A and B are shown apart, each in its own frame.
Chain A
Amino acid sequence: MDYITAITIFVLAIFIGFEVITKVPSTLHTPLMSGSNAISGITLVGALLAGSGFWGGLFGFLAIVFATLNVVGGFLVTHRMLAMFKKK
């Protein structure tokens, strides 16, 4: 992939992020943080692809553990919080 394409995607995704996230009410800012934090665990995809040789394998394995912690814990705790928000 050429880097201009990658940078294009990066810049446009930031625009989308700003568009969507500015509309999130402050009531939901904590779940937004923990939920988006879980999404940043996407680095799990990179972790699964990483690793050749001993050190590469070890790094990849540790990255998988940390990223999965981030993903699973993040989505679960966000769900726990959001389930508490009720209307009268």
Chain B
Amino acid sequence: MIDNLKNVLLFAAEGPLMVPPQELAEQISTAVSTAAGPSAATNFGYLVAAVLFIMGIKGMTHPRTAVRGNLLGALGMLIAVLVVLGGEQVNWWLAILGMLAGSAGGVWLANKIQMTQMPQLVALFNGFGGIASVLVAGAEVLRESAPDSDVSVAGFAAGLTGLIGSVTFTGSLIAAGKLHELPQFKKSWSFSGQQWVSTALLVVSLILCWEMTDGSGGEYFLLVMVAFALGVLLVSPIGGADMPVVIALLNSYSGLAAAAAGFVIDNNVLIIAGSLVGASGLILTNIMCKAMNRSLANVLFAKFEASGPAADADEVYAGKIKKTSADEVAMMLDGVQRVVIVPGYGLAVAQAQHVVRELADLLEASGVTVEYAIHPVAGRMPGHMNVLLAEADVPYDQLKEMDEINPTFSQCDMAIVIGANDVVNPVANTDPTSPIAGMPILNVSEARTVVVIKRSLSPGFAGIPNPLFAADNCLMLFGDGKQALVELVAAFKEN
């Protein structure tokens, strides 16, 4: 056992980049299978499940292998459940009834949901995972004879499970409600001094976690209540545009809650699967923060300041806006070689993905190269825009990430911006005092011509005017996104 662990540590010490994940997984598995706890056969089954989870996530590294990866993950879960049912003391009636009810709900939700609603569904599922971990730790706290010798660590782990899981639960429900635009969330729930109340609640819950180390568990349910309130207070002041960060963070929490529950009940597969998800959520959180050029603390605790004096729309736009029409754009499209489409969330709201693809098909049929430039925060959750376009049968090899497409805008004949604003605002690069200063943007202005399809000159979420609209090579096609595209397609067909 000790030797095995030593090997694992030696492997890890070589640095994460040098160790292929599979090899690391094998090393871990050796350590796992020799650890004490449940029976050897059960632990071996858990090991198989854990390896399948890792291979499953590995499959997600390419669209070609992703379907299989997801199925491997599901297979891992099935094996883990069968191992428990086959090898451990289980209350069969509760297990079967509970799993039937959960499956029915899961199938219903998964089939009913529209792709635009994916962020709130993921938020909801995060919440369910969180509360499940809270309940598992709660049941363990209630167990009269503690199964483990080391009461203090188990108690502390139970406390952490209660804290993280409960914050995940209420935080996710609030996030889902906001994303679903429920009327209850129309008005901001925030009040002055909210951060201080949140901080106080966090301190109280950490003290309660510490109190749990005596192993009596009496504080657990008080802790859960405090953490429920904390989850509500943390998420309720955060605005819609910051939701990608919040969902990614809650995703991470739901994993960490499962891992903490693994410590409570001495279960390796919970620890491994939970920490994988925890890492995944943290990486996505980090990517989203970078894409907005804001720190996590800033997203969570600071109000996004709509800039004051610098933003004078009239001054930026006066006399420089060039209006265009669908016919004119269609004529210009005759004879271009490369077109880049820049979709924003407005496109999805207008349900215009299918018309966009129709336009792209027509262009391609006449020999034009068409690509899509996807900003990391283009949707309401990481990667959301890609899913929305995939739903409209846009092939994934046409979807380009920001870093990949930015150097190529200068070789682009026309960039068509639909329902995006702040992510193409050059002010981010030029004005260090602007609220979006330093945010990475899509450099559409380097294209020969930019066509912006937009209802009006109204500002985006950042509340600032966009000098791109006044640029020499920029044409404004005013109107509803979908309607404008339908007209454009019709005009292009006539030519």
Binding site for B on A (CB under 8 A): 1-3, 5-6, 8-53, 55-57, 59-88
Contact = CB atoms under 8 A, between A and B. Distances in A.
A65 B280 contact: no
B47 to A, nearest CB: 11
A12 B139 CA distance: 28
Nearest to B398: A88
A41 B258 CA distance: 8
A59 B125 contact: no
Interface of B: 1, 5, 8-9, 12, 16-17, 19, 21, 24-25, 27-28, 31-32, 35-37, 46, 49-50, 53-54, 56-58, 60-64, 66-67, 69-71, 73-74, 76-77, 80-81, 84-85, 88-91, 94-95, 97-99, 101-103, 105-107, 109-111, 113, 115, 118, 121-122, 125-126, 128-129, 131-133, 135-136, 138-140, 142-144, 150, 153, 247-248, 251, 254-255, 257-259, 261-281, 283-284, 287, 374, 376, 379, 381-384, 386-387, 390-391, 393, 395-399, 401
B132 A63 contact: yes
A62 B128 CA distance: 10
Contacts of B132: 41, 43-44, 47, 62-64, 66-67, 70
Contacts of B49: 42
Q: Which residue among B9, B77, B138, B280 has the maximum number of chain A CB atoms within 10 Å of its CB?
A: B280
Contacts of B251: 33, 36-37, 40
B390 A63 contact: no
Given A26-B287, A36-B255, A51 B125 contact: no
A4 B296 CA distance: 31
13 contacts: A5-B35, A20-B54, A20-B276, A24-B57, A26-B401, A28-B63, A29-B381, A30-B384, A31-B66, A42-B269, A74-B106, A76-B107, A86-B396
A48 B85 CA distance: 8
Contacts of A16: 21, 24-25, 28, 54, 276, 279
B117 to A, nearest CB: 10
A4 to B, nearest CB: 8
Nearest to B68: A82
Closest 6 CB pairs of A and B: A68-B102, A17-B279, A29-B383, A64-B98, A72-B106, A73-B106
Contacts of A45: 46, 80-81, 84, 267, 269-270
Contacts, number: 414
A52 B37 CA distance: 19
Contacts of A84: 387, 390-391, 393
Contacts of B269: 42, 45
Nearest to A27: B386
A29 B397 contact: no
A36 B60 CA distance: 10
Contact of A8 (B9, B74, B248, B384): B9
A81 B275 contact: no
Contacts of A20: 21, 54, 57-58, 61, 276
A34 B56 CA distance: 13
A43 B382 contact: no
B263 A3 contact: yes
Contact of A51 (B91, B109, B399): B91
A14 B63 CA distance: 24
Nearest to B376: A26
A56 B143 contact: yes
Contacts of A5: 1, 5, 31, 35
Contact of B32 (A9, A44, A53): A9
B135 A59 contact: yes
Contact of A82 (B66, B125, B280, B284): B66
Contacts of B109: 69, 73, 77
Contacts of A27: 63, 374, 383, 386, 396, 399, 401
Given A9-B32, A46-B264, A60-B98, 14 more contacts: A6-B262, A9-B35, A13-B279, A15-B24, A18-B283, A33-B381, A37-B129, A37-B277, A46-B265, A61-B97, A62-B135, A65-B101, A68-B98, A74-B110
